[in-house]
Every structure is written in C-alpha cells, then in structure tokens.
Amino acid sequence: MTSSLNEFLTTRKKDIEEYLFSYVHELHVPENLKSSMLYSLKAGGKRLRPILVLALMNAYGKREEDGIPVGCAVEMIHTYSLIHDDLPCMDDDDLRRGKPTNHKVYGEATAVLAGDALLTESFRLISSQLSGDISPNQKLRIIDELVKSAGALGMVGGQFDDMEAEQRQVSLDELESIHARKTGKLLTFSVTAGAILAGASDDDIEKLREFSYHIGIAFQIRDDILDLEGSEEKIGKRVGSDTANEKSTYPSLLTLSGAKDKLNEHITRAKEIVSGLQLEQQLLHELCDLIASRDH
C-alpha cells in the first residue's frame, strides 16, 4: 500500500468514526438500546463503504467533509445488516471480528431492535444532517439510491436468496446475482452517492455504477479466497467455514486459481472504467488494488 493511500484510509476512518459515534451517543434514546447500537458500530471494520463515498468526492475535487453523514448512513446500514444476519434464526454466529455478536451480549430482542434503530436512523443522516450546499433534490436522490441498495431490491433480497440457496449447489450466475445484491449493492450505493454529492453527470454516475459492480464482485471473490487462504487472526473468524457449511463459493465453482483469475478480470475492468472518466484517478485505482489484495 502506498503511504498516501495509507494516510487517506487512516485519517478518513478517524473522521468517520468520530462523527458516527458522537451522533449516536447524543441521541436521547434508552441507554441500553444505545449501548447495543454503539457496541456493534464500534466493533471495528475497515469502514470501506464510507471511505468509498469520500474517495469519490475526493476524485471529483469536492469537499470530502460534506460526505461524512452519507458515509455514516451506509455504515449504519452495513452494521444493522450484520446484527440481524448474526441472529440465531439467520446465520447463528457467536463471534464477529473476534468479538461476541450483538445478541450474545445484549440478547436477541435488543439485537433486533438495535438493528431496526440503526436502519431507521440512517435516513435522517441524509434528510437532515447534510451541508446546505447539497440540494434537496440531491438528498432525495441519495435516499432513493439507499432504499434500492439496502432493501428488498438489494441487500435484503440478496440475503434472502443466499439463505434459500444454502446447502444446495448454485450456478455461477445465481452466485453472482446473490452477491451483487447482498454485498455489492451497498458498495454501489457508496460510489453513486459520492458521485451524486460531487455533482457528477448522469453519464458518469452510470459508468461508476458499472465500476462499483466490478469492485463488488471482486470484493466477494477476495472474501471467498480469504476463507481458504487467510489468517484467522487477521480476518477474525474461523477459516474454512464456507467449506464446512457446504457453501457455494467462487473457488468451489471455479477452482482457487480460476477464482483468482476472475478477481483480476473484474479489477482490471473496474480500473478501465475509471480511466475513461474525467476525474483524479490514482486514489480509485489504489482502492481497486486494495480490494483485490486485502488480507482481512
């Protein structure tokens, strides 16, 4: 990783977390509910989704600060989805990033409600917390994108199909459709929301939507590879769990080296799209490389 990318990731992660934790901390809501919300928000993670929002604004030469509430909104959505996915009736996970999952600490009922609360609150970060320089129509467009990315048309629908596909063989097309929604759509939201905030043209936004599709698939392939080759310490969960759960993955359908080839194809395509746009390309290219080679 270049030192400029490292600097970007470190400083922006800090800015995002500062805003996110203090926003939730200041809400006048029941203490234990707040504590459960903050527990999962603070459980770490790379903050990749908010980082992408800011990276797009940066690439267009806009004031990144104005994107922080949108970045925190998508991080809240990501966090709520992890809390609900970990529930006993869903994936029944006791550990997440090496720490007890929300329902193991706060109980299932509170975990359901903390998820509901984070999901709901995320929309207010967009409707009411953005700088006055962002027009009402930009805000509404971002809300529309968030619903399509996070709801039944996107992440929730992908999670549903993933559940239905468990323990049966799925085709590569099915696998791609599931991941494009379950993990890909929130990444798409981050990219398109950053572009909308930056005032990008509709044409740019559609090209960036395609860019985000490729990094989303690449992200998922890397995840599957890490489940085979990664370090348990770094990824914070048992390695080999996909195989143990008989889950269809890119390596199981394409072989490990086939999966690595596919990962590279998607990253190459993503970079080509960026190269065709009138914006500062280096940071976005570096983020593509990071997604392809991350170790957690």
Residue 247 beta carbon to a second copy: minimum distance, rounded to whole angstroms? 16
Of the two residues 34 and 99, which places its CB atom closer to a second copy in the complex?
34
Give the count of beta carbons closer than 10 Å to the beta carbon of residue 148. 16
Helices and strands (H, E) in the chain, number of each type: 16, 2
Among 38, 112, 228, 279, binds a second copy (CB under 8 A): 112
Residue 87 beta carbon to a second copy: minimum distance, rounded to whole angstroms? 7
Spatial separation of the C-alpha atoms in residues 59 and 188, rounded to whole Å? 16
Any alpha helices (H) in 44-180, and if so which ranges? Answer: 48-59, 68-86, 102-106, 108-128, 136-150, 155-165, 172-179
Pick the piece of the chain touching a second copy (CB under 8 A) from 3-11, 118-126, 209-217, 255-263. Answer: 118-126
Under 8 Å between Cβ of 247 and 166 = yes
Residue 202 beta carbon to a second copy: minimum distance, rounded to whole angstroms? 16
Map the footprint of a second copy across residues 31-70, applying CB under 8 A: 32-34, 37
Give the count of beta carbons closer than 10 Å to the beta carbon of residue 253. 17
User: Could you tell me how many residues make up the chain?
Assistant: 296
- Over the window 12 to 31, marking each residue x when it contacts a second copy by CB under 8 A and - when it does not, the resulting string is ---------------xxxx-
Pick the piece of the chain touching a second copy (CB under 8 A) from 145-153, 195-203, 244-252, 271-279. Answer: 145-153
Residue 109 has, within 13 A of its CA and on its CB side, a CA count of: 1
Write phi, then psi, for 247 (nearest 5 degrees): -80, 140
- Looking only at Cα atoms, what is the longest distance across the chain? 52
**Residue 116 engages a second copy in binding (rule: CB under 8 A):** yes
**Residue 128 engages a second copy in binding (rule: CB under 8 A):** yes
- Over the window 164 to 183, marking each residue x when it contacts a second copy by CB under 8 A and - when it does not, the resulting string is x-------------------
Map the footprint of a second copy across residues 91-110, applying CB under 8 A: 107-110
**Strand, coil or helix: 100:** strand
Q: How many residues bind a second copy (CB under 8 A)?
A: 51
**Residue 117 engages a second copy in binding (rule: CB under 8 A):** yes
Of the two residues 181 and 266, which places its CB atom closer to a second copy in the complex?
181
**Residue 127 engages a second copy in binding (rule: CB under 8 A):** yes
- Which of 31-64 are b and which e, b meaning 16 or more Cβ less than 10 Å from the residue's Cβ? eebbebbbbbbebebebbbbbbbbbbbbbbebeb
The footprint of a second copy (CB under 8 A) covers: 27-30, 32-34, 37, 80, 84, 87, 89-90, 107-110, 112-113, 115-117, 119-121, 123-124, 127-128, 135-137, 139-141, 143-144, 146-148, 150-153, 156-157, 159-161, 163-164
